[in-house]
Structure 1
Amino acid sequence: MTPTREELAATVDVAEWRLLRGHLERGGLIVVDRELDLVEAGVRVANDDSATIGSWIEAGKLAKPSAEQIAEWDAADEKKFRMLIISPYILIQDEGLTVG
């Protein structure tokens, strides 16, 4: 059964990069552009909406982390992201959140 928008919205959390990095190694992190609603992206991924997902990928709005992003985040492992788990993926969104 596919989770509802409300169920997904209730599971959005915040996590530091150092806790998310391990998921990078298995290829499970997907970066969601700030212009997209994280929950809406989660709904589309959960529903396997390949047309919308494909258009977002093509527009650069949904992607695996780039080498540049990874290097930047590794240098500031206290960096925080909004995150949403849509197994087997973890959708992350850089909101410019930092500790403190």
Structure 2
Amino acid sequence: MSDLRAELTQSVDEAEWEWLIPHVQRDAVILVTPGLSLVDVGEAIASDNSQSVQQWIDEQLITKPSVDQVGEWNGDRQKRFHTLILQPFVLVQEIAA
């Protein structure tokens, strides 16, 4: 495992929606679809693998949260997410209830 991958793997954490609101307000949250690894996405972004990142964007596997999603999450401030901070972004993935 590469040093970057090991570092990213250790950096994956959990956060409540309430904690993510300031990052959404500064347009820094990237939503990663379940089934896609936060570490894979983080590694691709950090290593400037634009081909993989663009493919995920095109396939809508990584997106900005929609207004509807934000509204839904605002109704459940205890909603939890897997997170990976990759300055200036915060990668998030919903944790199934």
TM-score by length of structure 2 reads 0.94
Distance (Å, rounded) in 1 between the aligned partners of 2:30 and 2:48: 14
Aligned partner of 1:57 in structure 2 is 57
SS of the residue 1:96 aligns to: coil
Deviation at 1:49, TM superposition (A): 1.1
Residue deviations 1:15-55, cap 9 Å, x none? 00000011011110000010201111110111121111111
Structure 2 gap ranges (5+): none
Distance (Å, rounded) in 2 between the aligned partners of 1:31 and 1:19: 15
Aligned partner of 2:89 in structure 1 is 89
Structure holding more helix per residue = 2
Runs of 4 or more above 3 Å deviation: none
Aligned partner of 2:78 in structure 1 is 78
Deviation at 1:80, TM superposition (A): 0.3
Distance (Å, rounded) in 2 between the aligned partners of 1:73 and 1:48: 30
RMSD: 1.0
Identity %: 37
Distance (Å, rounded) in 2 between the aligned partners of 1:67 and 1:48: 28
Distance (Å, rounded) in 1 between the aligned partners of 2:17 and 2:95: 12
The aligned amino acid for 2:53 is I
TM-score by length of structure 1 reads 0.91
Count of residue pairs the alignment pairs up: 95
Distance (Å, rounded) in 1 between the aligned partners of 2:95 and 2:56: 19
